């Protein structure tokens, strides 16, 4: 099992009173959700030809775009 480390070591006592501090795992999850939102928004704008180029049908693209951002 790997551990997550921060590039800016902050002790637990320093985190108190700092609302801007986000745990690394939470920060990674938020980034993943944001990438999914952007990717699905881009996919929604593809033409049929572009979808064929990436090997997806319009129905598959529509199903992917209908998923909430937290679902893979």
The pLDDT assigned to 1 comes to 44
Q: What is the pLDDT of residues 10-30, one digit of tens each?
A: 566 555 556 566 677 888 999
The pLDDT assigned to 31 comes to 93
Confidence (pTM): 0.64
The pLDDT assigned to 49 comes to 96
> Which has more pLDDT, 1 or 21?
21
User: Quick one: three-class SS letters along the chain?
Assistant: CCCCCCCCCCCHHHHCCCCCCCCHHHHHHHHHHHHHHHHHHHHHCCCHHHHHHCCCCHHHHHHHHHCCCCCC
End-to-end CA distance of the chain: 22
Given pLDDT bands bounded at 50, 70 and 90, which one contains residue 4? Answer: low
């Amino acid at each position: 099992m790997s551990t997550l480390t921060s590039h800016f070591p902050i002790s637990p006592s320093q985190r108190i009173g700092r609302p801007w501090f986000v745990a690394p795992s939470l920060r990674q999850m938020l980034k993943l959700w944001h990438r999914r939102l952007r990717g699905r928004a881009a996919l929604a704008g593809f033409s049929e030809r572009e979808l064929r180029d990436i090997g997806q049908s319009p129905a598959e693209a529509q199903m992917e775009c209908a998923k909430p951002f937290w679902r893979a």
